[in-house]
A and B are shown apart, each in its own frame.
Chain A
Amino acid sequence: MLHFIGRRVVLMLLSLWVIATLTFVLMKSIPGDPFTSEKKYPPQTIANLKAQYGLDKSIPEQYVTYLKNLVTFDLGFSINNTSRTVNDMLSDGFPISAELGGYSVFLALCAGVLMGSVAALWQGRLPDYAMMILAVIGISVPSFVLAPFLQKYLGLEWRLLPLAGWGKPEQIILPASALALGQVALIARLMRSSMLDVVTQDYIRTARAKGLPPWRVVSRHTIRNAIIPVVTIMGPAIAAVLTGSFVIEKIFSIPGMGKYFVESITNRDYPVIMGTTIFYASFLILMNLIVDLMYGWIDPRIKVSGREGS
């Protein structure tokens, strides 16, 4: 178990270094810099500013400083908003994004598993067709198209839920649903096919031969085994929700990371771009590690969890 996690942490650091380097290279190859703007500043001011952010040094030197700072978790100051460090922005915005993302992933998982199971159990009948249609819609309609729709009907016309904003529990429902729908569809489809595969397995026949009634067979044997492939796509699902949330936050005026991220790119705010990229990369890698550990727990045949083997 410890051995497994240790190896994974080393791999994690390695991937982070690659990501950090790539971000750095990309950043440097974009034309322009944070001080490119319509207003003309005196050259001396620009030079001073560049010196303050270390942009006057040679590129290899900048790279080394950048890595050094990363290792000490010092992501530096924002260039556009000089009073704030990138760490400040992350601690302001990320909890909100994480909450929205967490609800979306949870919603996607519950709804997807439920819908997929229902479709499989009623295969070829009405619930199955209804689910398939919903899945096609969910996969083909992007969340930023769905979001205004939800706002228009549920928010404006029927006044069921608040249009936008953040802070009240009911304000989370629309953005979380918009964000989750695509994943609900993916998970539901995977769950359906996985269930259809599991119900033909010999051990399901064994469970039935024990005299368990159908609902007990389904709840204790079928779903438990069918959910294993779903767990494996949770990593990518979390990634999709996190990146999707940048746009959704904008649409629903949610003060999460999305705002900072989008602004930082239009302003070429190097420290913020690199800081948030690295932060999100580490977060996703960590989530993947957790998903892998979960996988070992849910499927005892996988030996990551350190259960004693035979």
Chain B
Amino acid sequence: MSTPILEIKDLHVSFKTYAGEVQAVRGVNLQLEKGETLAIVGESGSGKSVTAQSMMRLIPSPPGKIKKGEILFDGKDLTKISDKEMYQIRGSEIGMIFQDPMTSLNPTMTVGKQIMEGLMWHQRLNKNEAQHRAIEMLRLVGIPTPEKRVKQFPHQFSGGMRQRAMIAISLACNPKILIADEPTTALDVTIQAQILELMRDLQIKTETAIILITHDLGVVAETAQRVAVMYGGKIVETGKVEEVFYRSRHPYTWGLMGSMPRLDIERDEELSPIPGSPPDLFDPPKGCPFADRCPHAMHICHDEMPEVTEVIPGSHQVACWLEHSEAPSVGRGTMQVNIASK
């Protein structure tokens, strides 16, 4: 395995609120390889966005704070460098796009200026050069008549075009990493497919590594090479897409797959969402975060956090007590039967 371009080690992020401290991210470890697409999946509130925003140091602070851990990029720990160094990295080395293209663009500034801004700041281009490049970027993301479009305002763009413009903004400075936090959730299904295809094309052209946060396992299957499954502020399973999809080892991943609509098998029963609710992050459990909902939970699961087991060293990892040599052997099928019988 080559040295990863970005490595997160034991990241902890908390938010101070009136009700107490929300421990949104509790010890996340992640590696991102050059040019790959890593998907982060997991249910709402599991800490995906907080993890992504930590990499850009965009956590709203206060109340948010990185309590512990390292984010290594280009030999630097992004949690420790000065604000000034961070401004050099944001937008230039790491770009980010967000869920809602309708609200993510400044309504009072032309789309062209919004692309040019980063170029003029990071690469010290003059106005002409920057505009030239902005037009080029709009063409690259598939916006017709870009010469005309650079001078327009976001409200003159459709939703899909705005997300394309967002991609143009985030890729303008040729970043090494692109973080996409649910980039297609707010779009129509047909537009979703176009945007994903665009991202795949651009990745091949630019060799940007992508971190893709999504709820949609179909998107993962089509776009990503590796997946990290998050639950309760922790990563419970990571691996290549095939490993996690077809040979998953974690009961939560089984549940997640079971709660997804599938086209390839006919089913009579309803989709089975995982019963129960996610752990209380104000007072997170000391053991496995999934223990309250896991049909295979054992005593130890409630008391102690399972170690990470390397199922396939350097590739497929899972944090579950079932990997322990003394644990009973259960399979994915059992889980689905269990859920169906509830």
Q: Which A residues fall within an 8 A CB radius of B?
A: 201-203, 205-213, 216, 220-221, 224-225, 228, 298-301, 307, 309-310
Per-position contact with A for B161-185: 1 when CB-CB < 8 Å, else 0? 0000010011000000000000000
Per-position contact with A for B81-94: 1 when CB-CB < 8 Å, else 0? 00110111111100
Q: Which residue of A lies closest to B149 (CB)?
A: A310
> Could you list some 10 contacts between A and B, CB below 8 A?
A202-B98, A202-B100, A206-B98, A208-B58, A211-B90, A212-B87, A212-B118, A213-B87, A224-B106, A310-B157
In the complex, what distance in Å separates the CA atom of A63 from the CA atom of B174?
A: 74
In the complex, what distance in Å separates the CA atom of A208 from the CA atom of B104?
A: 11
Residue B296 lies at the interface, judged by CB distance under 8 Å to chain A: no
Q: Which residue of B lies closest to A209 (CB)?
A: B96
Q: Chain A residues with Cβ under 8 A from B92's Cβ?
A: 211
- Cβ distance A281 to chain B, nearest Cβ, rounded Å: 32
Residue B56 lies at the interface, judged by CB distance under 8 Å to chain A: yes
- Cβ distance A121 to chain B, nearest Cβ, rounded Å: 14
Partner of A224, one of B86, B108, B117, B156: B108
Task: Please state if B98 and A212 are interface contacts (CB–CB under 8 Å).
Answer: no
Task: Please state if B166 and A210 are interface contacts (CB–CB under 8 Å).
Answer: no
Task: Please state if A206 and B104 are interface contacts (CB–CB under 8 Å).
Answer: yes
Task: Please state if B122 and A298 are interface contacts (CB–CB under 8 Å).
Answer: no
In the complex, what distance in Å separates the CA atom of A235 from the CA atom of B170?
A: 40
Given the known inter-chain contacts A211-B90, A310-B157, please indicate yes or no for A300 contacting B107, CB distance below 8 A. Answer: yes
In the complex, what distance in Å separates the CA atom of A205 from the CA atom of B88?
A: 16
Task: Please state if B90 and A299 are interface contacts (CB–CB under 8 Å).
Answer: no
In the complex, what distance in Å separates the CA atom of A201 from the CA atom of B104?
A: 8
Q: Which residue of A lies closest to B53 (CB)?
A: A205
In the complex, what distance in Å separates the CA atom of A300 from the CA atom of B56?
A: 30
Task: Please state if A211 and B156 are interface contacts (CB–CB under 8 Å).
Answer: no
Task: Please state if B153 and A301 are interface contacts (CB–CB under 8 Å).
Answer: yes
Q: Chain A residues with Cβ under 8 A from B95's Cβ?
A: 209
- Cβ distance A303 to chain B, nearest Cβ, rounded Å: 9
Given the known inter-chain contacts A203-B103, A300-B155, please indicate yes or no for A209 contacting B91, CB distance below 8 A. Answer: yes
Q: Which B residues fall within an 8 A CB radius of A?
A: 56, 58, 83-84, 86-92, 95-96, 98, 100, 103-109, 114, 117-118, 121-122, 152-153, 155-158, 166, 169-170
Describe A's contact surface by its main secondary structure: helix
Given the known inter-chain contacts A202-B104, A299-B108, A309-B156, please indicate yes or no for A220 contacting B56, CB distance below 8 A. Answer: no
Q: Which residue of B lies closest to A124 (CB)?
A: B62
Q: Which residue of A lies closest to B152 (CB)?
A: A310
Q: Chain B residues with Cβ under 8 A from A225's Cβ?
A: 106-108
Given the known inter-chain contacts A201-B103, A310-B155, please indicate yes or no for A206 contacting B109, CB distance below 8 A. Answer: no
Task: Please state if B108 and A300 are interface contacts (CB–CB under 8 Å).
Answer: yes
Task: Please state if A221 and B109 are interface contacts (CB–CB under 8 Å).
Answer: yes
Q: Which residue of A lies closest to B88 (CB)?
A: A211
In the A-B complex, the 6 residue pairs with the smallest Cβ-Cβ separation, listed nearest first, are: A211-B91, A310-B156, A211-B90, A210-B91, A202-B103, A210-B118
Q: Which residue of B lies closest to A201 (CB)?
A: B103
In the complex, what distance in Å separates the CA atom of A127 from the CA atom of B267?
A: 63
Task: Please state if B166 and A206 are interface contacts (CB–CB under 8 Å).
Answer: yes
Partner of B104, one of A203, A212, A299: A203
In the complex, what distance in Å separates the CA atom of A310 from the CA atom of B98?
A: 23
Q: Which residue of A lies closest to B153 (CB)?
A: A300
Given the known inter-chain contacts A201-B103, A206-B98, A221-B109, please indicate yes or no for A211 contacting B121, CB distance below 8 A. Answer: yes
Given the known inter-chain contacts A216-B121, A301-B153, A301-B155, please indicate yes or no for A210 contacting B103, CB distance below 8 A. Answer: no
Task: Please state if A210 and B117 are interface contacts (CB–CB under 8 Å).
Answer: yes
In the complex, what distance in Å separates the CA atom of A310 from the CA atom of B148?
A: 11
Q: Chain B residues with Cβ under 8 A from A212's Cβ?
A: 87, 91, 117-118, 121
Task: Please state if B58 and A209 are interface contacts (CB–CB under 8 Å).
Answer: yes
Q: Which residue of A lies closest to B84 (CB)?
A: A213
Partner of B90, one of A210, A221, A224, A298: A210
Given the known inter-chain contacts A203-B105, A203-B106, A298-B108, please indicate yes or no for A211 contacting B118, CB distance below 8 A. Answer: yes
Q: Chain B residues with Cβ under 8 A from A220's Cβ?
A: 109, 117
Q: Which residue of B lies closest to A199 (CB)?
A: B60
In the complex, what distance in Å separates the CA atom of A300 from the CA atom of B110?
A: 9
Q: Chain B residues with Cβ under 8 A from A210's Cβ?
A: 90-91, 117-118, 121, 169
In the complex, what distance in Å separates the CA atom of A224 from the CA atom of B87?
A: 21
In the complex, what distance in Å separates the CA atom of A205 from the CA atom of B118?
A: 14
In the complex, what distance in Å separates the CA atom of A298 from the CA atom of B100?
A: 24
Q: Chain B residues with Cβ under 8 A from A202's Cβ?
A: 98, 100, 103-104
- Cβ distance B163 to chain A, nearest Cβ, rounded Å: 12
- Cβ distance B108 to chain A, nearest Cβ, rounded Å: 5
